[in-house]
Amino acid sequence: MASAMTDLHRPAETPLHLFNSLTRSLEIFTPVHAGEARVYSCGPTVYNYPHIGNMRAYVFADTLGRTLRHKGYKLTHVINITDVGHLTDDADAGEDKLEKAAAEKAQSIWDIARHYTNAYWADIDALGITQPAHWSIATDYVPQMIEFAKQIADKHCYELPSGLYFDTSTVSDYGRLARHGTDEGESRIDPVDGKRHPADFAIWRKTPAGETRQMEWDSPWGKGAPGWHLECSVMSEALLGFPFDIHTGGIDHREIHHPNEIAQNQAHSCSPDSGARMWMHNNFLVERSGKMSKSSGEFLRLQLLIDKGYHPLAYRLMCLQAHYRSELEYSWDNLAAALTRLKRLVMAVMPLRDVTSATVEHPRLLDLLTKFDAAVSDDLNTAIALTLIEEAAAMKKVDTGEKRALIEAMDKVLGLQLFSITREELRLRPKAARISEADITSILDQRKAARANKDFAASDALRDQLIAAGVDVMDGDPLAWDWRPIL
């Protein structure tokens, strides 16, 4: 396989091993189409802002995509936007999350969807997540969803007054992905009256008589809206073909959403094929105070981190410090530590900014490259990859052009933008600061001049002026933070 790394004269290439949730084991990635990688990631439900836990799912999907590119595959990545069908209750009984938000805010559902989609895209940009080949919007695919449902209705579905339901007993091994029916799997009980099996799920939800929904379409089963799971089966096949390579999502999707997608895919393809060769799931970002939840009023969104002065890439680095399959605990201390680590890296590569890259030939650099490739090829071990990029940045007595090329290649996978973010951007800059940065710089300049003149009284007075404005002066700080806000 040709690879970005071969350009750098990399010696041996480790095969890419990824953890497949279907088999609960590491497998060597073998593409459906030679030289290509086709990946579908379940996107956000746009009824509210994404929280930083949701964004962990896309940092993971982006790391996967970057790794596949690094291994030389031509990547086609799809992320969908769920603007219809996702209910407040996974058991098909609640309201549509978007209809509910629109009613509460007395706004058009389309405006709500647009607003929160834009907010999500802003977070995608801020975190340096690569734009996928397609953003597929669920409401653009409703005719195809109805067509898909028509094709499976006779053999696999039954109608109830509330809608069309999928009979999970009609496909082989339903729930295998979730390990339903074992100690490991969660069992679920669905409260909709008349369901044949607790796990049966809605393919089409009829608008109840006498009600009008803002989003509803005509169908052979009456006016209504598609069930949530349908969109991903339909859009992944439309944009990536059947089967495709990798389907990603958060670990919660392993239990209900993805088993249901698989059941639909099996029904539609008249085969036991799950639709994707590999199903990959990121573990959760957890936060003890419970502020993560979108439904709990105030919650942790990326903008809150930015408002408190943190560069969003510090959050990206914080995610990369943990393995994507491990739970990651959020705390402000962890974020501050990640910011410092990012700053150290940016400072270490600063002397290479104006250096032209050269082919990597030095054995010590090649060795680091091999180790880096092995780390990311080991089910995306970014925690190790980070220590290797740090080792590369600290490398002395090597050609600077080679060193730059090596770090650039590594950063292409990690996405930390080490050669473009500035030291100043990484400074904690809380929105609520009482003094502007321009004023701080100007006072610091005056203070430097006073010290040069040995006017220590003036220098101390200027320092006190900054302290009074909430700014701590950090003389001689090894990381060259000249000042920091007093929090």
- Give which of ligand AMP, Zn ion, none residue 232 binds (C-beta under 5 to 8 Å, depending on kind): Zn ion
Query: Cα(147)–Cα(143) distance, rounded to whole angstroms?
Result: 6
CB of 84 to ligand AMP, least distance (A): 13
CB atoms within 10 A of CB 475: 9
Query: Cα(425)–Cα(64) distance, rounded to whole angstroms?
Result: 27
Question: Do 33 and 71 contact (CB within 8 A), yes or no?
Answer: no
Contact flag: residue 85 with ligand AMP (CB under 6 A): no
Question: Do 252 and 236 contact (CB within 8 A), yes or no?
Answer: no
Contact flag: residue 243 with ligand AMP (CB under 6 A): no
User: Residues binding ligand AMP: what is the number (CB under 6 A)?
Assistant: 15
HSE-up of residue 140 (Cα within 13 Å, Cβ side): 10
Strand-strand pairing, 36-41 and 201-206: unpaired
Contact flag: residue 250 with ligand AMP (CB under 6 A): yes
- Give which of ligand AMP, Zn ion, none residue 87 binds (C-beta under 5 to 8 Å, depending on kind): none
Amino acid symbol at 458 = A
Residues contacting residue 399 through CB under 8 Å, at least 6 positions apart: 358, 362
- Give which of Zn ion, ligand AMP, none residue 247 binds (C-beta under 5 to 8 Å, depending on kind): none
Query: Cα(155)–Cα(139) distance, rounded to whole angstroms?
Result: 26
For residue 80, list its beta bridge partners: 136
Q: Judged by CB, which is closer to Zn ion: 41, or 48? A: 41
Stretch that binds ligand AMP, among 210-218, 284-292, 375-383, 384-392 (CB under 6 A): 284-292
Query: Residue 4: helix, strand or coil by DSSP?
Result: coil
Rg for the chain, CA atoms, rounded: 26
- Give which of Zn ion, ligand AMP, none residue 56 binds (C-beta under 5 to 8 Å, depending on kind): ligand AMP
Q: Judged by CB, which is closer to Zn ion: 113, or 393? A: 113
- Give which of ligand AMP, Zn ion, none residue 246 binds (C-beta under 5 to 8 Å, depending on kind): none
Pattern 202-241, Zn ion, x by CB under 5 A: ------------------------------x---------
Residues contacting residue 401 through CB under 8 Å, at least 6 positions apart: 355, 356, 357, 358
Q: What count of residues does the chain have? A: 487
CB atoms within 10 A of CB 140: 13
Q: Judged by CB, which is closer to ligand AMP: 125, or 391? A: 125
Question: Do 130 and 121 contact (CB within 8 A), yes or no?
Answer: no
Q: Which of 8, 18, 42, 137 binds Zn ion (CB under 5 A)?
A: 42
Stretch that binds ligand AMP, among 54-62, 159-167, 335-343, 397-405 (CB under 6 A): 54-62
CB of 325 to ligand AMP, least distance (A): 11
- Give which of ligand AMP, Zn ion, none residue 145 binds (C-beta under 5 to 8 Å, depending on kind): none
For ligand AMP, the binding residues in 301-330 under the rule CB under 6 A are none
Contact flag: residue 249 with ligand AMP (CB under 6 A): yes
Residues contacting residue 194 through CB under 8 Å, at least 6 positions apart: 160, 161
Q: Judged by CB, which is closer to ligand AMP: 300, or 471? A: 300
Q: Judged by CB, which is closer to ligand AMP: 52, or 152? A: 52
CA nearest 311: which of 424, 164, 145? 424
Contact flag: residue 53 with ligand AMP (CB under 6 A): yes
Name the residues that contact ligand AMP, by CB under 6 A. 42, 44-45, 53-54, 56-57, 249-250, 252-253, 282, 284-285, 292
Where along the sequence are the contacts to Zn ion (CB under 5 A)?
Answer: 42, 232
